Structures are given as C-alpha cells and as structure tokens.
Amino acid sequence: MIAIKAENLTRRFGKFTAVDQISLEVERGEVFGFLGANGAGKTTAIRMFCGLIKPSAGDAWVGGISIRKSPRSIKKRIGYMSQKFSLYEELRVSENLDFFAGAYNLSVSEAEKRKDEIVRQFQLEDFTDRTTKSLPLGWKQRLALGCAMLHRPEILFLDEPTGGVDPVTRRNFWEMIHNLAAEGTTVFVTTHYMDEAEYCHRISIMNHGEIAAMGQPAELKKQYDKETIQEVFVHLIKSDLC
C-alpha cells in the first residue's frame, strides 16, 4: 500500500522554484529519509505534504488524500514533529499531552487511554509531573514524538528530529522509530546526520529542488561506488553550493 505519493510536485515562490517536479512513492511502514543540502527545498516539500502550502503544479497524495483537493483532511492522518520540538515549556509533561489530545479532538476516554499508552511506550512514567523545560533534551524529544503520535497518525513527518542530541539518545530514538514503523506507521524523516540516513529503508537526496538520487542506502552506495552515504551525498551535491 502506498502511504505517500508525489507526482511532478512543484512549488514556486515568484521566480524561484523551491521544489521542481519531484515524484516519489513511500510504502506503508517504510522509514523514508529525505536528505538534501540547506535550502534544497526539503522544508517546502514537507509543508506541502502536510497540507500547509499549496503546490504550484503537480499533486501529492498522503494517506490516499490529494493535498491539492483536501489539504485539511490530511491533518488527522499525519503526525508532525520538528527540530524545535513545539512543546509548551511551562507546562508539565502530562499537560502537554492533554493539550495535544485536545488539539486533535480526542474524546475524553480515548485521550486518557492514549496518554497512558504514550507514557508507557516512550517511558515517560517518571516525568509526567515535571515541567517540560526541566527535561533533558533527549526526553523532550521523546515527549515531542509522543505528542505527535497521540492521535495514532498513519504517517509521521519528522523534520530534523535529532539535532544536538547525544549519540546514545539518538540511537534510542531511532530504535523507537523502527518500532513504530514495524507497527505499520510510515515515517518520513529529514536529517543532517548521514549515519542516520543508513537507518532508513530508503532515502532520497535533494538538490536545487530536484531529487538527485533515490533508493536503498546500500544500493546508492553501490551505484556511486562509495563507502558511506556521507560520501554519496558530497559526491552528488559537491561544489555548486548554497
């Protein structure tokens, strides 16, 4: 089953083409790494998938819904977590979960049930009464992921979820991602850590609004005869910077 599909998806801002006719397909339960240089158009593409901005041309289907025709109905099917962990720092962990449960319109009984599940799944038991700002970065990251998962989204968009987090916590985070994927959640993730790209089932590398390469990490390394994804990336994007 196809979770995300893009066909010639394009977005222009004035004369500047941020996303230039990209096409891709992501299977249900797949962890898809969406890589690219700064300013290559990743964020624009993700915002289109989430129904936040309209494509200039082409279309994409997220959970089978066209982003062009019904961008609003996409929101119930997806979870989104960004680098800046959009949590309320002054609220307690449980209050943040309450808020997002409310924001996604969960019924009272459903909200209680999901909160318990999320707290258990992300091992937040010892932290529920602490204010969010007092949490170490790694735990904030778990909470942010928990909040994004409250409404059982089929598809999870993660925008640089691991920036600044220590290697041990990053490792644990990726383990959680893979567990979610094993349960059928589709994960669409961007990162600047090239070692993390290797954890993905498939990756694409974006450059100047276009997809320069796409495939399984092992395939790509073979295709370009490189040792690591880092080298593949540098090879593809090289000198034409910024």
Residues forming the site for other proteins (CB under 8 A): 36-40, 83, 136-137, 160, 163-169, 171, 174-175, 178, 192-199, 217-218, 229-230, 233-234, 237-238, 241-242
User: How far apart are CB 168 and other proteins at their closest, in Å?
Assistant: 6
Q: Minimum distance from CB of 9 to other proteins (Å)?
A: 21
Kindly tell me which of 147 and 194 has the beta carbon lying closer to other proteins.
Answer: 194
Torsion of CA 184, 185, 186, 187, to 10 degrees: -130
Nearer to other proteins, 111 or 194 (CB): 194
Minimum Å distance from CB 43 to other proteins? 11
183, with CB counted inside 10 A (0-12, 13-18, 19+), is exposed
Supply the minimum distance, in Å, between the C-beta of residue 109 and other proteins.
Answer: 35
Task: Name which of 128 and 169 has its Cβ closer to other proteins.
Answer: 169
CA 99 to chain centre: 21
Residues 129, 134, 139, CA angle at the centre, nearest 5°?
80
Closer Cβ to other proteins, 59 or 198, answer by number: 198
Nearer to other proteins, 102 or 167 (CB): 167
Least distance in angstroms from the C-beta of 180 to other proteins: 13
